[in-house]
Structure 1
Amino acid sequence: MSVTLSRWLPGLVLSAALPLMAHAATETAPAEGPAYGPELQGFQYPYTLKHFAFESQGQKLQMGYMDVAANGKANGRTVVLMHGKNFCAATWDSSIKALSDAGYRVIAPDQIGFCTSSKPEHYQYSFQQLATNTQQLLKALGIQKATVLGHSTGGMLATRYALLFPEQVDQLAMVNPIGLEDWKALGVPYRTVDQWYQRELKVTAKGIRDYERTTYYDGRWKPEFDRWVDMLAGLSKGPGKTQVAWNSALIYDMIFTQPVYYEFKDLKMPTLLLIGTSDTTAIGKDLAPPEVKAKIGHYEVLGKQVAKLIPQSTLIEFPGMGHAPQMEEPEKFHQALLGWLGKTPSAP
């Protein structure tokens, strides 16, 4: 295993992963925005990008990550950030700054299959595997215990990490995590990996933007969100796009078939749920029959329900905000997050 600084060369594209919005796109949609390499070469991260080399499932892989020191007086604590499915470590930029300014060391990796990290030809994706990869990174960095903060799919991963390595988690925080319900059990139809793959190949910037505006931001849009749309769409414009699309399809299958919902009761550390109540995200919602679609993705209800399942939970709601309150209203969000981190005792 090794940790190295990035040596990026500008490159052309590979494909990203947004099947949920792919229905808004077409095969003949015109190219929009910049194109990026298969590991996001050409896209500028907000802090120095490093790489962790390791072996997994018989393959040599690497994870891109940012390791940002406390800005000013350090408090001796570390926060590990876990990004969502349609996000990257770079989308944590305002959170990294807020946490660093408050004295925390911040580690923000891109998981295998995402953004600046490897897209293997074959990989058995599981939340346990991604959690283990992350634990290996932290071990290489000499981090024995940390606060874990996950957003969206990163909330499912953070939950699995906390269940696998409870002694290494001081506090757990989740921002609009998906997986607060079991879509399969609620009647959402199964989509095969091949079907996910075909949808991934049709991703466009317009499809991403339309989906995020409707589902993530309750019809609202800020110009600064366009950078993240271009980041995702830029991954789907080059000769390697099929490999990224295939990894993305495997990851969506993992998300749909590996619920963490039934294990929230087993979390042993102080846990914070940060919920934008206007969020309507639900995997496979576009395929669900009307009676199923009507009952899934209601975060104003889900946050309250799951808070009752977690033994040491605190729920903070952001009325009127959507799937990414840390990006939508960063000042209000980080005030709430830092307030909880500062007053909540760590796990013993």
Structure 2
Amino acid sequence: MQRIFCAISAALLFIQPSIAASAAEPAPREPYGIDLEGFAYPYPVNLLPLTNDGEQLRMAYMDVAPAQPNGRVVVLLHGRNFPSSYWAPVIKTLSEAGYRVIVPDQIGFGKSSKPTGELHFDTLARNTVALLDHLQIAKADIVAHSLGGMLGVRIARAFPDRVAHLLLVAPIGLEDYRLYVPPTPTEKIVENEDRLTAEGYRKQLETNYSLRLPPDQVTPFIDARFNIKGSGEYPRWLRAFVSSAQMIYREPVVHEIPEITEPTLFIMGADDHNAPGRPNAPEALRPKMGQNAELAKALATKMPNARAEVIANAGHLVFLDAPQKFNELMLAFLGSR
């Protein structure tokens, strides 16, 4: 009996570390498709067929009708690191105020097709106007966040008759990153992005965006990025994602901003110092980058019809960090003549 007890004890000693080790391992991620198949959006998603550079693609979008229409339309333009589903609270606010809300995923992002060719702001601008044409919308207000802000600038410059108000929400592109960051080969960016872990990405968001959101609100952003790694088409997604980084670098819009004539409002988080490419800049130049609130205020003074509002204790995701103040500023601006 004693021999049996010792044998069992020895077996348990062998098994218990294995159990502990497996318990410490993160649960495997349920793979998403590279068009975010498996990731839920807050409203039904439609698909618009498009042709970009000879390639057949589909642009995903949500079209949310208000219960009591005011006759106005708002187009929401997302940032680079987020699916357009993160606009959910803003969609609700605008819809309750009577606005029809159009929320596209740009080609290369979210539930839209991932092209094999390079991304360009001019192409994304044409795609967005093609969506307005498809929906028979002659003119809309644009609310644009982060990378979407750069696209909003390009739309306002190329298609000024289609834009009633331009609201730039913590936009990037308020400086020319080429003045600080040397050109980075695409393969190097692919390598760095592929090496990034989910926890590293969480820390990156917290550092770059001064996030104030609780962890459970950040987790969907992590899932939307990392569950795609389980897809057999992940390399194509990664190429499109890296192409968007090169687009930001190679196609600055800051020089066009002073030429915008439509009513424009910048809403900035006081703690937003996001600056794409900063880690690749010479160390002496890094502190000069990402002074976004000050950059917005300076640009507004050069524009014929613009102003900047800075919200204290808010970062890059200002509409989620300070929703009450953001909504107040947004609705007042969109309602102005």
TM-score of the pair, normalised by structure 2:
0.89
User: d(CA) in 1 for partners of 2:211 and 2:261?
Assistant: 34
One-letter amino acid of the structure 1 residue matched with residue 266 of structure 2: L
The percentage of aligned residue pairs carrying the same residue is 37
CA deviation vs aligned residue, 1:19-69 (integer Å, no higher than 9, x gap): xxxxxxxxxx96764431110000110000111112221111001110000
User: d(CA) in 2 for partners of 1:183 and 1:82?
Assistant: 21
Q: How does 1:52-201 map to 2 (within 5 A)?
A: 52-70=48-66, 72-121=67-116, 123-185=117-179, 187-201=180-194
1:51/1:195 Cα in 2 relative to 1: closer, same or farther (>3 Å)? same
Partner residue, 1:313? 306
* Higher relative contact order structure (alpha carbons within 8 Å, sequence separation ≥ 6): 1
Contact 1:67 1:105 in 2 (8 A): yes
Moved more, 250-259 or 187-196: 187-196
Pick from 242, 254, 258: which aligns with 2:247?
Answer: 254
CA deviation vs aligned residue, 1:106-151 (integer Å, no higher than 9, x gap): 0000001111011122x23211110001111110011110001110
- Which one has the largest radius of gyration? 2
Partner residue, 2:203? 210
Q: How many residues align structurally? A: 313
Pick from 315, 318, 333: which aligns with 1:325?
Answer: 318
User: d(CA) in 1 for partners of 2:212 and 2:91?
Assistant: 27
User: d(CA) in 2 for partners of 1:47 and 1:253?
Assistant: 31
Contact 1:173 1:273 in 2 (8 A): yes
Partner residue, 2:9? none
One-letter amino acid of the structure 2 residue matched with residue 57 of structure 1: D
Q: CA deviation at 1:220?
A: 6.1
User: d(CA) in 1 for partners of 2:229 and 2:172?
Assistant: 24
SS at match of 2:178: coil
User: d(CA) in 2 for partners of 1:47 and 1:103?
Assistant: 17
2:251 counterpart of 1:226? no
Partner residue, 1:46? 42
SS at match of 2:75: strand
Q: Which runs of 5+ in 1 are unaligned?
A: 1-28
Contact 1:32 1:204 in 2 (8 A): no
Contact 2:301 2:307 in 1 (8 A): no
SS at match of 1:172: strand
Partner residue, 2:332? 339
One-letter amino acid of the structure 2 residue matched with residue 56 of structure 1: N
User: d(CA) in 2 for partners of 1:271 and 1:246?
Assistant: 33
User: d(CA) in 2 for partners of 1:157 and 1:32?
Assistant: 36
Contact 2:108 2:119 in 1 (8 A): no
Q: CA deviation at 1:265?
A: 1.4
Pick from 260, 269, 276: which aligns with 2:269?
Answer: 276
Q: CA deviation at 1:332?
A: 2.3
1:228/1:32 Cα in 2 relative to 1: closer, same or farther (>3 Å)? farther
SS at match of 2:247: helix
Q: CA deviation at 1:330?
A: 1.9
CA deviation vs aligned residue, 1:219-267 (integer Å, no higher than 9, x gap): 7644212222211222233221110111111111111011100111110
SS at match of 2:101: strand
User: d(CA) in 1 for partners of 2:197 and 2:183?
Assistant: 24
CA deviation vs aligned residue, 1:194-224 (integer Å, no higher than 9, x gap): 2122222223321221011122125764421
Pick from 25, 31, 37: which aligns with 1:35?
Answer: 31
SS at match of 1:294: helix
Q: CA deviation at 1:101?
A: 0.5
Q: Which runs of 5+ in 2 are unaligned?
A: 1-24
1:204/1:266 Cα in 2 relative to 1: closer, same or farther (>3 Å)? same
Contact 2:211 2:317 in 1 (8 A): no
User: d(CA) in 1 for partners of 2:316 and 2:323?
Assistant: 13
Contact 1:34 1:230 in 2 (8 A): no
User: d(CA) in 2 for partners of 1:137 and 1:85?
Assistant: 20
One-letter amino acid of the structure 2 residue matched with residue 113 of structure 1: G
